[in-house]
């Protein structure tokens, strides 16, 4: 077990700092302060971040830290923090670590007992989710999917069955093909949303059935950045026995959930009474 206090000391720590996903006004006062006061800013692309930092009036030293150099760079950054440096990590846009570099550095900091301090802020998937009109609890975030149809299909089959909103990112030049692949797996009338250019002037939500949205983007070339959301399945889940449901609760408890949460999750997913499942769980 490890307990790590974010504010017990002022030096030798890693701040994870979200940056705007389009609208520069979405930088927080705290994010600006942390970027200004850090000893170094570790940036995915120092040129892109240089432009952002200039616009928001932050002048500070930058180090490059991206997916191609993260393994070699992480030990250097760890050494700097062990010597007392405060490092603020940013990606090109949105939250570091979310489909962006940063994970390795976070793991290394935890390993070396260096505090990791996350700042809240913009992320494209959460921004899309809250306006999608789909239930936000539970949701599954997939990041970028594999590119080949054969590799995408198992993910789409999982989304088809899921009683959670599914969210993924896709590049504009691959969007139409990916939506066709999605439409080949889901029932034609399954609602989806394509959230485009969030927080920017051309922000748009294309809501419809998977067939309608796939056809729309086959005829209208996708432009800009996209988040795709698939509504939860309304199919009745497979009817499991109480014994099988209790096994699922046990599995969630073994994975770290509280009994109460595990019962709640399993009951919601399998559409059974939470109280009844709770009683059966304690009767065994």
The residue from 12, 22, 101, 222 that contacts ligand SAM (CB under 6 A) is 22
Site for ligand SAM in 106-125 (CB under 6 A): 123-125
The residue from 156, 169, 217, 281 that contacts ligand SAM (CB under 6 A) is 169
By CB under 6 A, tell whether 226 contacts ligand SAM.
Answer: yes
**Residues 206 and 229 sit within 8 Å (Cβ to Cβ):** no
By CB under 6 A, tell whether 245 contacts ligand SAM.
Answer: no
Nearer to ligand SAM, 163 or 174 (CB): 174
**Residues 124 and 198 sit within 8 Å (Cβ to Cβ):** yes
Structure tokens at 25: 């006004």
Interface map 64-103 toward ligand SAM (x if CB under 6 A):
---------------------------x-xxx--xxx---
Rg (CA), the chain: 22
Question: Which range of residues in 70-78, 166-174, 179-187, 273-281 is near ligand SAM by CB under 6 A?
Answer: 166-174
Q: Which residues on adjacent β-strands are paired with residue 42? A: 63, 89
| Dist. CA 181–CA 32, nearest whole Å | 42
Q: Indicate the residue whose CB is closest to ligand SAM.
A: 94
By CB under 6 A, tell whether 21 contacts ligand SAM.
Answer: yes
By CB under 6 A, tell whether 181 contacts ligand SAM.
Answer: no
Question: Which range of residues in 31-39, 45-53, 219-227, 244-252 is near ligand SAM by CB under 6 A?
Answer: 219-227
CA 239 to chain centre: 31
Q: How far is the CB of 244 from ligand SAM (least distance, A)?
A: 37
Kindly give, in sequence order, each residue whose CB lies less than 8 Å from that of residue 171, ignoring residues fewer than 6 positions away.
Answer: 144, 226
| Dist. CA 192–CA 162, nearest whole Å | 13
Binding-residue total with ligand SAM (CB under 6 A): 23
Nearer to ligand SAM, 93 or 186 (CB): 93
* Residue 103: its H or E element: helix 103-111
**Residues 128 and 227 sit within 8 Å (Cβ to Cβ):** yes
Neighbours of 47 (CB within 10 A): 10
Q: Which residue in this structure is represented by tokens 């440096």?
A: 85
By CB under 6 A, tell whether 217 contacts ligand SAM.
Answer: no
Q: Which residue in this structure is represented by tokens 């700097």?
A: 80
The residues that touch ligand SAM, with contacts defined as CB under 6 A, are 21-22, 91, 93-95, 98-100, 123-125, 169-171, 195, 197-200, 225-227
């Amino acid at each position: 077990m490890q307990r790590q206090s974010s504010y017990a000391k002022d030096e030798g720590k890693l701040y994870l700092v979200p940056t705007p996903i389009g609208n520069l006004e979405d930088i927080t006062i705290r994010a600006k302060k942390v970027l200004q006061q850090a000893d170094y800013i570790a940036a995915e692309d120092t040129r892109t971040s240089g432009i952002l930092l200039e616009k928001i009036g932050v002048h500070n030293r930058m180090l490059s830290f991206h997916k191609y150099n993260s393994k070699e760079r992480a030990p250097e950054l760890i050494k700097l923090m062990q010597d007392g440096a405060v490092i603020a990590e940013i990606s090109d846009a949105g939250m570091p670590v979310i489909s962006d570099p940063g994970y390795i550095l976070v793991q290394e900091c935890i390993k070396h007992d260096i505090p990791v301090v996350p700042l809240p802020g913009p992320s494209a998937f959460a921004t899309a989710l809250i306006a999608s009109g789909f239930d936000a609890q539970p949701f599954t975030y997939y990041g970028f999917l594999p590119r080949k149809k054969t590799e995408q299909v198992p993910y789409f089959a999982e989304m088809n069955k899921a009683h959670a909103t599914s969210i993924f990112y896709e590049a504009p030049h691959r969007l139409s093909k990916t939506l066709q692949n999605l439409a080949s797996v889901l029932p034609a009338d399954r609602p989806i949303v394509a959230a485009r250019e969030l927080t920017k002037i051309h922000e748009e939500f294309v809501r419809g059935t998977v067939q309608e949205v796939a056809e729309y983007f086959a005829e209208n070339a996708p432009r800009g950045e996209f988040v795709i959301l698939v509504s939860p399945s309304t199919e009745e889940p497979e009817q499991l026995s109480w014994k099988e449901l209790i096994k699922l609760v046990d599995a969630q408890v073994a994975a770290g959930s509280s009994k109460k949460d595990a019962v709640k999750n399993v009951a919601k997913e399998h559409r059974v009474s939470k109280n009844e499942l709770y009683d059966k769980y304690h009767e065994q």
